[in-house]
Structure 1
Amino acid sequence: MAVVTLDSLNIRSIKEVELNNRRVLVRCDFNAPLDDDGIVTDDSRIVAALPTLRYVLEQGGKVICCSHLGRPNGKRDPAFSLEPIGQRLGALLPDIDVMLPDDCVGDAAEHLIFRQRPSQIILLENLRFHKGEKSNSEEFAKKLADRCDVYINDAFGALHREHASVSALPGMIPDRAAGLLVEKELRFIGELAKGAKSPYLAIVGGAKISGKIEVLEKLVDTVDGLIIGGAMANTFLVARGHEMGRSLIEQDRIRLAQHLLKRFDSKGVKVLLPSDVICVDDLSADASTQSVAVDNVGPEQMAVDIGPDSRAQFAAAIAGESSLGLPKTIFWNGPMGVFEIEAFSQGTMAIARALARSTARTIVGGGDSGAAVKKAGVSDLMTHVSTGGGASLSYLSGEALPGLIALRGGRRST
């Protein structure tokens, strides 16, 4: 099994940088979901950052966290304040005072930073309150760089973003390195990209092929079996000659789907598509549902989830009860249906439960898949649940991630 190391990428680890009595800016991914009352409903990304934050504190460093939250479109919006994140972080670190200035740059942030005590974490306000963050502004990055001695990127979920705090900023700070979470993520996702144990089964879902073309092209050469679910399966089913009614279909991707199916077949990769789907006439939570074989989808029906036969067939493949044999590695990214509606989430939940029973190395690519294993209460039974769906797919597809490029060549202090 090939192992991706930071050293092979010319990137320093946080453990190779002197942190004692230094101001350490940690780029985190605290883009956590909030409810209508502004309460964090899933703190997985906050919890995932704790090992790096604790390590800096233990080494005598002064922690300054920065992150984005949502899409405030470059202006201050209280609905996207990091205050709820700070409250949750404080609850997870009860011996530490979490301080939140009213901005990520300017006098208020500077005042707290230069008076920071070792028992405090400063959580800068939402980076995306400034247009310079998403535009990768060097001017904005410089304002952040001026207030720290060390830069640590622990935001795996943002590594594929060419934003100021991820791309422009690191090169301004010689002592830059990857955090413990990024190192862990690269180890597991890199394993899939560089040589997973065979038989290797991939499960890919979600709405569209267009967002996963590069990954599917890459999987042709690496997997032994492929399960396709979600709305993207509709396009593949049409490519195989099925009528899918009013289901979401990418008409301009049908020929691509046919091409991919031929490529997988030429490589001897077993591709499993749904044999039945849950259909509705109206996309609403209280819609009447019907389990329909893919040969019998009516002209007015919409597929919103995989059906019971498909769930059983996919679960059997995960358990090794198919021609693929017992998988040793399984990667899952993307829901099997309209997961955000409870009535249409059963296929996704069935995959989560099947993975929990598997003896394979199970790597879940974040996003709705990560939410599903958490909702099913089986996160701890996975080998690894990624904190970055988009970043994991980008890395798997061989894309050069701006956040990793920017970390290269950091000064080794120890």
Structure 2
Amino acid sequence: MTAFRTLDSAEVKGKRVLIRVDLNVPMNDRVVTDDTRIRAILPTVNEVTKKGGKAILLAHFGRPKGERVPDMSLAPVVPVLQTLLGKPVAFANDCIGNDAASAIARMSDGDVLLLENTRFHKGEEKNDPIFVSALAELGDIYVDDAFSAAHRAHASTEGIARQLPAFAGRSMQSELEALEKALTAPRRPVIAVVGGAKVSSKIELLNNLVTKVDALVIGGGMANTFLNAQGYNVGKSLCEHELADTARRILATAADSGCAIILPVDAVVAWRFEARAPSQAYAVDSIPADAMILDIGPHSIERVKSAIDDAATLVWNGPLGAFEMEPFDRGTLAAAQHAAARTRDGHLLSVAGGGDTVAALNAAGAADDFSYISTAGGAFLEWLEGKQLPGVEVLRRG
């Protein structure tokens, strides 16, 4: 049984069900350009309406900072939501007060209503008790289906869950179950692949992972900082030289925890940071002083693939090189495709997250074969860092 209250134990028939969703979607000229996050909430909304509940959607868009900003209205989401749900969606010009209450009063069981941007009110991000109560007055039950906002203790993500019976929606449930399988109670051995530009942005992540996983692959620009800390010359590569001591401490913690650190043994270098720039592979002890490392080399790719072969569970965050530019995407694509094949063949549970990671897996054609891909961004990263997420903790079974 999951550690969190889910829709399985919620009686929604005839009830006003406030559902916190993530509709912070990409738009161009007030037209939705990517409906991925909208599609993610469909199972929860459909389940609530089919069981006779009134689905009242709470969401934020952008950062209006407590002001009513017309360009940050959620109204443009309505037509997309109606098309995907295959039914009418009403819209209220506010998320509290008379506008919201009147719109809810007009609802029949099974209807869907979207309330205006919660962040138009300063009380949202402040988790103000008065604003929380104004939201709670509109519903009988609260369902959180926005894991991506669960790391914020806001009124619509945490405060309201303390005033109404609170449950995890299906998208939230899927995310929590995937993350629990990956780190909380994983099948071992567990390998983590962590890449990206800077160690400084992932110190907490690395410190937590080396105590949780059996092997850690470090790639991307951050690998250069670790190579430099070990005495290698990384030429003109992106490198946080001032974090050499931090890198050495992380390596020492890993050794104490029995976590194998897998760093590049060779690298693809170039003399210009641009797509299809002339490049060559060198061993990490032979990097030219006037060159920059832009990808892991062929021997390193094989090491990463072998490490994935040895694992039962994989957690991935960040690319292994400058994957946006050919040919410096080869390391990331090869590792991603290998992990996807192992997952497809039933040998690996694979969980990935982070904007660049999702983009890289999509580019590799590997995304569909991973066990779970999180689009939650900051919340996913904070979970990997071992932090408690306020919007998750309030959903735990008592």
> TM-score of the superposition, structure 2-length normalised?
0.87
1:333 to 317, 324, 332: 317
Structure 1 residue corresponding to 2:245, chosen from 255, 261, 266:
255
Retained in 1: the 8 A contact 2:354–2:376? yes
Q: Please state how far the C-alpha of 1:116 moved relative to its aligned partner.
A: 1.9
Are 2:114 and 1:150 equivalent residues in the alignment?
no
Of 152, 155, 158, which aligns to 1:167?
Answer: 158
- Report the aligned-residue RMSD: 2.8
Query: SS in structure 1 opposite 2:202?
Result: helix
Decide which of 14, 22, 32 is 1:21's aligned counterpart.
Answer: 14
**Equivalent-residue separation in structure 2 for 1:341 and 1:398 (angstroms):** 32
Match of 2:47 in 1: 55
Distance in 2 (alpha carbons) for counterparts of 1:408 and 1:391: 17
Q: 2:22 touches 2:146 (CA, 8 Å); kept in 1?
A: yes
Q: Structure 2 CA distance, aligned partners of 1:151 and 1:65?
A: 10
- Give 3-state SS (helix, strand or coil) of 1:368's partner: helix
8 Å contact kept, 2:51–2:110: no
TM-score, length-normalised on structure 1? 0.84
- Which residue of structure 2 lines up, in the alignment, with residue 323 of structure 1? none
Matches within 5 A, 1:300-379: 301-318=291-308, 320=309, 326-339=310-323, 344-358=328-342, 359-379=347-367
SS of the aligned residue for 1:362 comes to strand
Match of 1:239 in 2: 229
- Which residue number in structure 1 is paired with residue 176 of structure 2? 186
Q: Which residue of structure 1 lines up, in the alignment, with residue 279 of structure 2?
A: 290
5+ residue gaps, structure 2, are none
Secondary structure of the corresponding residue to residue 65 of structure 2: coil
Q: CA deviation at 1:280?
A: 5.3
SS across alignment from 1:398: coil
Contact residue 333 and residue 365 of structure 1 kept, 8 A: yes
Indicate which of 84, 92, 107 corresponds to 2:84.
92
Amino acid of the structure 2 residue aligned with 1:403: G
Indicate the SS of the match to 2:89: strand
- The alpha carbon displacement at 1:289 in A equals 5.0
- Structure 1's consecutive aligned runs of 4 or more residues displaced over 6 angstroms after TM superposition are none
Distance 1:54 1:86 in 2: 15
Q: Secondary structure at the match of 2:239?
A: coil
Deviations 1:189-217 (A, max 9, x none): 11233332122211111233334333323
* Counterpart secondary structure, 2:13: coil
Identity of aligned residues (%): 41
Change (3 A) 1:39 1:356: farther
1:401 aligned residue:
389
The change in CA–CA distance for 1:290 and 1:407 in structure 2 (over 3 A counts) is same
**Counterpart-to-counterpart distance in 2, 1:134 and 1:246:** 42
Deviation at 1:299, TM superposition (A): 5.0
Cα shift at 1:250 = 3.0
SS at match of 2:300: helix
| Residue 184 of structure 1: how far off its partner (Å) | 2.1
Contact 1:234 1:244 in 2 (8 A): yes
* Higher RCO (CA-CA < 8 Å; seq separation 6+): 1
Letter in 2 for 1:387: T
The counterpart of 1:381, out of the listed 355, 360, 369, is 369
* Shift in CA distance, 354/60, structure 1 to aligned 2, threshold 3 Å: same
Cα drift, residue 255 of structure 1: 0.9
More off after superposition, 135-144 vs 38-47? 38-47
Query: Aligned to 2:55, what secondary structure does the other structure show?
Result: strand
